[in-house]
Amino acid sequence: MTRSSDESEFAALVDTHGSSIMALLGRLCRNRHDAEEVFQEVALRVWKSFSLRTRPPLENPRAWLMTIAYRAFLDKVAARRTHELLAVVADSRADSPHSLAEAAERRDEVQAAIDELAPAMREVVVLHYAGGLSLRETARAMQISEGTVKSRLNSALGKMRRVLE
């Protein structure tokens, strides 16, 4: 594969999946600044893998990208040696127009429900619903069994049900 085709494929990835990656990172980091930093790291990792001569063709680019994004997020957390990366920071969404107040309220409710979950459960919920990964893909990304993913998801849903009632 030539360099120019790599470059165009790389650019196409951000056009197709960039917003989903950023949404996933926003949910995981809960902090726009950190999410942008991790997003940049994801770009570097993706391009690095593009430069590998033996790179296999991408069968499921979305799952691949979400996995890279999740791993980059974990590395960021590990680098800070604390989950306090997830500290609440004023969200830019507070500036939403008045007409979108209802949607913003719902968004806040959903985010609040997710925030209350333990990190392990939250990551499963975010990867599965925000990242759009199947249970199997989520298990692969988190390097745990599919049964564990299901168990964590069930616990998370049980807690979220109380918020939704």
Partner 1 sequence: MRMGMNCQDFLTRLETGRPITRLLAWLHAGRCPMCAVVYRRWNAAKRELRQAEPLSAELRTRWIEAMHAAVSAEQALPFWRNSKLAWVAAAACLAGVLWWETLHVSRMPMPVERRWPREPELVEEAPRPETPPIDVAGTEVTPGADAAGDFAQLEARIKQLDDEVANLTAQAERLEARRTADEMIEHYSQWQF
Interacting residues with partner 1 (CB under 8 A): 7, 10-11, 14-15, 18-20, 22-23, 27, 36, 39-40, 43-44, 46-48, 51, 74-75, 77-78, 106-107, 109-110, 113-114, 118-120, 125-126, 129-130, 132, 135, 142-144, 150, 153-154, 157-158, 160-161, 164-165
User: Of 87, 15, 14, 16, whose CA–CA distance to 44 is shortest?
Assistant: 14
Please identify, using beta-carbon distances, which residue of 54 and 117 lies nearer to partner 1: 117
Q: Smallest distance from the beta carbon of 56 to partner 1, in angstroms?
A: 20
| Residue closer to partner 1, measured from CB, 44 or 89 | 44
CB atoms within 10 A of CB 124: 28
In 3D space, the residue among 72, 60, 53, 56 whose CA is nearest the CA of residue 17 turns out to be 60
Residue carrying structure tokens 């199997």: 136
Q: Which DSSP category does 131 fall into?
A: S
At residue 9, what is the residue type? E
Tell me whether residue 23 or residue 86 sits nearer to partner 1 (CB atom).
23
